[in-house]
Structure 1
Amino acid sequence: MSETQFPRSARLLRPAEFKRVFDNTALRGSSQHLLLLATPNEQDQARIGFVLAKKQIKRAVDRNRIKRLIRESFRHHQSDIDALDFVILGRAGLAELDNQQIREMIDALWFRLKRPSHDRRTNSKGKKRRQSGR
């Protein structure tokens, strides 16, 4: 199997799989229009699921376009991503973005997740973030 395919085994399909990500979120990334939640899985590959509510993204054609763009981006980045289960949540205003803006937004989220974990604890200027609970 090519590393750029998107087989059924790379998708979150059952409600229990989504619940596991929501209940045990280990990593999160967000932008103005997307929220990405992730948790380690026992598989040998990353998997992805979508939550694009009709209340947030009214038209089915827009929901399908967004899923198609994110799936394509995931397909190209999945070999660089650890074995994690991802849930992508769409926020209001996502449907108004054009395809290029959505691609750039999701690619930026993948890039942030691919950084080593010690880099995630520093802000964009290289300074350490404050740890909570001090």
Structure 2
Amino acid sequence: MAPAPFPRAARLLTPKDFARLRTVSRRVGTRHFSAEVAANELGGARLGLAVSKRVSKKAVRRNRIKRIARDSFRHTRDGLPAVDILLVARFSADQEDNASLRAELVRLWQRIATLNGAEGVGTMRA
């Protein structure tokens, strides 16, 4: 398998990036994850993660979910359009094993890849 880096340019880093997604994005969801997706002009997909203490009180369990999500994104990033993605884990994600989380993330990335610039699909904002 070819190496799949996760460079700094592929991450949402600043509070401004996260705030923009909270206001102008479209939502795409699965059973254990919710993704807020918005087009960007940077030429590649970027990922931000939100796994709160509501998902699990134990940091090791939250970090497991983040590690699986980052790894899945690294291997799928080239097939995604130029979008910013804020991936929010739901409470139920902590109860699932690694293989089922990976499979669900693959389905989520596929749904995001089929969006037309993240416009016109998903839940409308008020």
Bucket of the pairwise TM-score, normalised by the shorter protein: 0.7 to 0.9
TM-score, normalised on structure 1? Answer: 0.80
Paired residue for 1:63? 62
Indicate if the aligned counterparts of 1:57 and 1:94 stay in contact, CA closer than 8 A: no
1:1-20 to 2 correspondence within 5 Å?
A: 4-20=4-20
How far, CA to CA, are the matches of 2:36 and 2:82 in structure 1? 13
Kindly report structure 1 stretches of 4+ aligned residues shifted beyond 6 Å.
none
Q: Deviations over 1:62-109 (max 9, x none)?
A: 111111111111111111101100000111121110000100111010
Identical columns (%): 35
Q: Which residue of 2 aligns with 1:84?
A: 83
Q: In the TM superposition, what are the counterparts of 1:51-130 in structure 2 within 5 Å?
A: 51-115=50-114, 117=116
C-alpha distance in 1, partners of 2:98/2:21? 27
TM-score when scaled to structure 2?
A: 0.85
With CA pairs under 8 Å and 6+ residues apart, which has the higher RCO, 1 or 2?
Answer: 2
CA shift for structure 1 position 41: 1.0
- How many residues are treated as equivalent by the alignment? 117
Cα distance in 1 between the residues matched to 2:18 and 2:115: 25
* Kept in 2: contact 1:3–1:79 (CA 8 A): no
Residue 13 of structure 1: CA displacement? 1.0
Structure whose alpha-carbon radius of gyration is higher: 1
- Residue 36 (structure 1) aligns with: 35
Two-structure CA RMSD over aligned residues (Å): 1.9
SS in 1 for 2:91: coil
